[in-house]
Every structure is written in structure tokens, then in C-alpha cells.
């Protein structure tokens, strides 16, 4: 958390921030700002993107991704055969009550999805108060971690948490005046998502695909690493790359839908609106190579970090391992922050990966937007809501497990209620983060669209536009003059 905050501050202070994609109705004339003359992507004037011809971008990386999936599919049957043989040799295992477990997961999942859906309206109504509460929540969490570390006798980590606690207080004071725009932007993003709730169906579909792939990957890795440990990096790369692709495909899809809602709301105002299908098809076909490109870069860093974690067993290299991990974490944070904005332009206009990133950075620079603080504030709200939903579902899991203590009996746990709470907390946070992840993508898209096309926003959503403009004027009066 501390490293990611540092990375965001570094990027903001250097005026370097990334990408977008969507469909604009009209092209406004540039303002009196001095436009930076650079070699932009196709048909980009430094002020606003233009829909690109429908073509397959960054094809090599899409082909590489599919080739790696084919390789994993070839290895999977052999891995399953080896695991089955090992299980037979071991004489089987415990008789697990799968019916009761399915019942538990179903009940908790329904509660989590229900709370996540209701939370959209709750956040819209109390967005300003929730942003403030999120800042207090962040400070309280840092303080609690500091106390826990000192009580556990870990002086070093206690000092680190104390530093994080101090930074949290300073951060809250620095951004307090910027809360209104963060709240207004969050409300706008929530309005777009509520108008196109079918996005949540795609998000949960990707979750099940990711879960299935994780099971297959675990089977393959158990078989391969036992005979060839040198394949660890490639296996980690496969795991992280696949999950990054799923996440970023959802991000690009959401950006396209929110862009359509921004410019042509009549095409994006229902549960199964036309824009959802169109954006999903674009993100999984024409723009899929771009998704695979950026995802691969992050996956390489994540795989290196995972390998580095395995070195922590060597006590003589602890300091070096920590330094390497910190460097890799910073690199990962920078790339992920870049990808978040870049994929907005990919979803809105269909640029390739590199042009999208360069164009969106240029947009922010030309607009004079040296800080996009509101995005971080909105994310803090979404994380807090996810934790709250997790706690509620944890309580539901506690009640269900306490009423039927046979659910986890085969696992040998002494406290079924406590186990039910932990499983409920985990399931609730995972499912709510999927829904709120769509909102996070919508928040990023709204920032870009507001920078590019405030006039179209005022025409199509006058009430939300009035709220956004008023909040922007009070939070950043100097930047407001760029409109």
C-alpha cells in the first residue's frame, strides 16, 4: 500500500499518466492551451482521441497468448493422469461433504452479490461522506497495523507501519479539499454502471474462467515442478499473464461501455444494452492483442517477484531480497498505473497499446492536469466498501456454519463458526471486488472523458455535468480554466 502510494505520487508529480478507448460523437476544437507537438498515434491531435478503423492491433501478443494456452492444454491431461495415479497410490482421502459446502458457498455468494448491487445506490447517495470516511478508515487501518506489529514484538515492521500512519494523516490533510470532485466522479461512474449492470455478468463470467484456469494451473504446476523445477518462472508467468488478461479485458470492455454512455446514452442505458455486446466483442477481438501486450509486461514483473519470494528462505540474503522486491513492486506499480489509463483509450477509440498510452499521457499534459488524485480517493472508497461487504458475508457464514456444524467437520476444524466467518469474509471480498472493479474502471474512464469531452457530457447528462463542474471548480480552480 505504501509503495503503491509512492508510485502514484511519483507519476503525478512528473505529469506522466496513461491510456483510453471509445466512440466520440463530435470533435471539439482545441482550447487556447499550448498543445504539445509530438508524433501521436493515428488521428490524435493531442487534445482528443478519434475512433480508429476496425483492425486487429498487436496481433503477435494475442497469438503468443493463445499459443501458451494451447501448450497448457496439451500438458493438462498428462498432469491429471499423474495426479490421479498419485492419489490412487496414496489410498484416497477424507470423505468431504460437498453438498453442504456448495450450500454454504451459494448462500454466502448470493448475499455478497446482493450487498454489492445495493452498495451502488448507497455509494451514489452518500459519495461525499464515504470519501471522507475512507480517509479515516485508511488512517485507522494504518494505526491498527502499527499497534499489532508492536504488540507482536516486530519493531521494524512496527516502525514501518508508524511511518505509514504518519503518511496517511499527511495525505488526508493534503487531499481534503479535493474530496468533492472525487465524490462527483464516483457518482458519475456509478450512474454509468447502474445503467449497464450487464457488465457485472461479464465480470462474474471472467471470475469463473479465472477460477477454472487456476485449478488447471495448480494441477499442471504440481506435476511439472516435481520433475522440472526450472520451469517455475514460465509457470508463474502463465498464471499471472492469464489473470492479467482477464482483468484487463474487463477493464477495456467497461471503458467502451462507459464511453458510449457518455457520448450516446441511448445505446448504453439498459441491463443488456447494445454497447455491452459491442464493447465485449471489440475487447476480445480487435483490441485483444493490446490487452495481451500490456498484461504480459506486468506478468513478467509479477513472476519475477514470485521467484524472489522463494529466496526468502535464505537468511543470508534477506536484505537483498527485500531490496529487489521493493524495486520490482515499484516497477509493477508504475506499469499497472500506466495500463489502467492506457486501456481506457484502447476501449474508447481502438488505439494499439503503445499509441494509447502515449496519447492519453499527452492529453493530460496538454490539459495541465498534473494530479489525478480523485482516482486514488475513489479506489479507497471501493476498497472500504469491499471490506464492509466481506465482514457482512463473514457474519452470514458464521451463522450458517454454526447452525450446521457438519459443513466443515471433515476438515478437522475445531471452531466451525470461526471457519465459516473466514470463508464468508474471503468469498464476500472476492465477489464484491469484482463488481467494484467494474466501478473502478468506470471511474478511470470518466476522468478521461471529462478531460476530453465536457461539452458532450453536459449535453447528455446535464445534472451530473453540473455536479462535476462545480466540484472541479472548487477542487482545482487553475485546471478548471482548461475547459
3-state secondary structure of 34: coil
In this predicted structure, what is the pLDDT of residue 10?
41
Q: Name the grid cell of 406.
A: 457438519
Summarised one tens digit per residue, pLDDT across range 75-127 is: 998 888 877 776 666 555 555 566 788 888 889 999 998 999 899 889 988 99
DSSP 271: T
pLDDT at residue 4 is higher than 70: no
Summarised one tens digit per residue, pLDDT across range 167-207 is: 999 999 988 888 888 899 999 999 999 999 999 999 999 98
pLDDT at residue 413 is higher than 80: no
pLDDT at residue 478 is higher than 80: no
3-state helix, strand, coil in the chain (%, to 5): 80, 0, 20
Distance between first and last Cα of the chain: 33
Which of these ranges, 1-15, 265-279, 436-450, has the smallest mean pLDDT? 1-15
Distance, CA of 322 to CA of 308 (rounded, Å): 9
Distance, CA of 198 to CA of 171 (rounded, Å): 36
Summarised one tens digit per residue, pLDDT across range 346-386 is: 999 999 999 999 998 888 888 776 555 445 788 899 999 99
DSSP 28: P
For residue 364, how many other CB atoms are within 10 A of its CB? 21
Distance, CA of 334 to CA of 265 (rounded, Å): 33
**Cα–Cα distance list, 381 to 117, 312, 435 (Å):** 15, 34, 13
Distance, CA of 58 to CA of 41 (rounded, Å): 14
In this predicted structure, what is the pLDDT of residue 168?
93
Residue with cell 492491433: 57
The candidate with the shortest Cα–Cα distance to 286, out of 241, 239, 238, 349, is 349
In this predicted structure, what is the pLDDT of residue 483?
54
What percentage of the chain reaches a pLDDT higher than 70? Answer: 83
pLDDT at residue 406 is higher than 90: no
Q: Cβ neighbours of residue 247 under 8 Å, at least 6 residues apart?
A: 206, 295, 437
pLDDT at residue 33 is higher than 50: no
Summarised one tens digit per residue, pLDDT across range 417-428 is: 888 899 899 989
CB 146 within 8 A of CB 466: no
Report the length, in residues, of the chain: 483
Distance, CA of 448 to CA of 24 (rounded, Å): 12
Summarised one tens digit per residue, pLDDT across range 118-143 is: 998 899 889 999 999 999 999 999 99
In this predicted structure, what is the pLDDT of residue 191?
94
Distance, CA of 163 to CA of 12 (rounded, Å): 21
Residue 156 binned pLDDT confidence (cut-offs 50, 70, 90): confident
What radius of gyration, in Å, describes the C-alpha atoms of the chain?
24
DSSP element (H, E) containing 333: helix 318-349
Distance, CA of 215 to CA of 375 (rounded, Å): 34
Residue 231 binned pLDDT confidence (cut-offs 50, 70, 90): confident
Summarised one tens digit per residue, pLDDT across range 272-318 is: 889 999 999 999 999 999 999 999 999 999 999 888 877 665 555 66
Ordered DSSP codes for 410-437: GGT-S-HHHHHHHHHHHHHHHHHHHHHH
3-state secondary structure of 181: helix
In this predicted structure, what is the pLDDT of residue 238?
94
- Mean predicted confidence (pLDDT) in 230-248: 92
Distance, CA of 67 to CA of 234 (rounded, Å): 13
Mean of per-residue pLDDT scores for the chain: 83
3-state secondary structure of 241: helix
- Mean predicted confidence (pLDDT) in 7-24: 39
DSSP 30: P
Residue 32 binned pLDDT confidence (cut-offs 50, 70, 90): very low
In this predicted structure, what is the pLDDT of residue 415?
79
Residue with cell 524472489: 308
Q: Dihedral, CA atoms, 415, 417, 423, 427, nearest 10 degrees? A: 180
Amino acid at each position: 500500500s505504501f509503495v503503491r502510494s509512492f508510485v502514484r505520487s511519483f507519476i503525478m508529480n512528473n505529469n506522466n499518466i496513461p491510456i483510453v478507448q471509445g466512440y466520440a460523437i463530435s470533435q471539439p476544437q482545441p482550447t487556447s492551451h499550448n498543445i504539445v507537438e509530438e508524433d501521436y498515434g493515428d488521428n490524435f491531435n493531442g487534445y482528443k482521441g478519434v475512433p480508429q478503423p476496425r483492425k486487429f492491433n498487436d496481433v503477435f501478443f494475442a497469438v503468443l497468448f493463445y499459443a501458451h494456452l494451447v501448450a497448457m492444454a496439451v500438458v493438462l491431461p498428462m498432469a491429471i493422469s499423474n495426479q490421479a495415479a498419485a492419489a490412487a497410490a496414496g489410498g484416497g482421502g477424507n470423505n468431504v461433504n460437498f453438498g453442504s459446502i456448495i450450500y454454504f458457498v451459494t448462500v454466502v455468494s448470493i448475499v455478497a452479490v446482493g450487498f454489492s448491487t445495493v452498495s451502488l445506490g448507497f455509494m451514489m447517495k452518500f459519495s461525499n461522506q464515504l470519501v471522507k470516511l475512507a480517509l479515516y478508515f485508511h488512517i485507522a487501518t494504518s494505526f491498527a497495523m502499527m499497534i499489532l506489529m508492536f504488540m507482536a514484538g516486530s519493531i521494524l515492521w512496527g516502525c514501518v507501519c508508524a511511518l505509514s500512519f504518519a503518511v496517511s494523516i499527511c495525505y488526508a490533510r493534503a487531499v481534503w479539499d479535493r474530496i468533492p470532485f472525487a465524490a462527483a466522479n464516483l457518482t458519475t461512474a456509478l450512474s454509468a454502471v447502474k445503467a449497464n449492470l450487464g457488465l457485472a455478468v461479464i465480470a462474474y463470467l471472467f471470475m469463473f474462467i479465472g477460477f477454472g484456469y487456476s485449478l488447471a494451473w495448480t494441477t499442471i504446476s504440481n506435476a511439472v515442478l516435481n520433475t522440472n523445477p526450472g520451469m517455475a518462472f514460465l509457470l508463474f508467468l502463465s498464471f499471472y499473464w492469464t489473470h492479467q488478461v482477464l482483468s484487463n479485458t474487463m477493464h477495456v470492455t467497461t471503458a467502451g461501455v462507459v464511453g458510449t454512455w457518455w457520448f450516446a446514452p441511448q445505446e448504453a442505458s439498459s441491463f443488456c444494452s447494445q454497447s455491452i455486446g459491442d464493447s465485449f466483442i471489440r475487447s476480445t477481438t480487435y483490441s485483444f492483442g493490446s490487452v495481451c501486450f500490456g498484461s504480459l509486461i506486468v506478468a513478467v514483473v509479477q513472476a519475477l517477484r514470485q521467484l524472489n519470494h522463494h529466496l526468502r528462505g535464505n537468511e543470508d540474503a534477506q536484505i537483498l531480497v527485500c531490496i529487489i522486491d521493493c524495486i520490482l513492486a515499484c516497477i509493477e506499480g508504475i506499469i499497472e498505473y500506466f495500463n489502467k489509463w492506457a486501456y481506457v483509450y484502447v476501449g474508447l477509440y481502438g488505439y494499439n497499446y503503445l499509441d494509447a498510452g502515449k496519447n492519453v499521457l499527452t492529453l493530460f499534459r496538454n490539459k495541465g492536469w498534473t494530479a489525478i488524485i480523485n482516482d486514488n480517493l475513489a479506489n479507497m472508497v471501493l476498497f472500504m466498501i469491499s471490506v464492509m461487504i466481506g465482514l457482512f458475508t463473514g457474519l452470514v457464514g458464521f451463522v450458517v456454519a454454526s447452525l450446521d456444524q457438519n459443513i466443515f467437520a471433515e476438515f478437522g476444524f475445531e471452531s466451525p463458526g470461526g471457519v465459516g466467518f473466514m470463508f464468508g469474509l474471503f468469498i464476500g471480498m472476492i465477489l464484491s471486488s469484482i463488481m467494484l472493479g467494474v466501478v473502478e474502471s468506470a471511474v478511470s474512464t470518466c476522468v478521461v472523458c471529462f478531460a476530453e469531452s465536457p461539452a458532450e457530457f453536459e449535453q447528455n447528462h446535464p445534472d451530473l455535468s453540473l455536479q462535476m463542474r462545480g466540484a472541479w471548480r472548487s477542487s482545482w480552480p487553475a485546471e478548471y480554466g482548461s475547459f
